[in-house]
Amino acid sequence: MVAECLGKIALIEPAKLVPALKVRTTSPAAFIQATVVIAVKYSIMERREKIDEISSFLMLIKDNDSHVRRAVVLALSTFEHNKPNLIKGLLPDLLPLIYDQTIVKQELIRTVDLELRKAAFECVDTLLDSCLDQVNPSSFIVPYLKSGLDDHYDVKMHCHLILSKLADKCPTAVLAGS
């Protein structure tokens, strides 16, 4: 709720408030970083013009905290659905980082890790709809999709949908990855 309000307030004076949010991306508190990312998500959805600093918010996907990474993945999914042109130029840098979120991290096995992996696979699924020309399916199928097919039931369901979509849109990549 706080993040949504911050995002809407940033619409009032974006030239002043977006840089103030950007400064908060370096906060040592993961809660503040996640809140800032979600605020930017809400702000961008209401704006007509592009935010030049978007990459600094999205690069928080490299953060150590899984809550921050999940906030970034969810923001990316929203942008893919609603404003895919906003992130297309960033995809070469972001795709490997998104794929990394699909990997089971033994030190993090708990609900948050599962939610992050599910969100990452949902993000990839959306990318296949909105930005397929930017995605190399072969580099995703092995090892990421293959690993997801052996994961928790909720993750498997997303992976089966992705596999079905890839079989329809990129059959040779699927056959090569089998």
Give residue 108's pLDDT.
Answer: 59
Cβ-proximal residues to 54 (8 Å cutoff; 6+ apart), any chain: 40, 44, 86, 87, 90
Give residue 109's pLDDT.
Answer: 60
Give the torsion sign (CA, 35, 37, 42, 43). Answer: positive
pLDDT, tens digit (0-9, with 9 covering 90-100), for 123-172 = 999 999 999 999 999 999 989 999 999 998 999 999 999 999 999 999 99
- For the entire predicted model, the pTM comes to 0.79
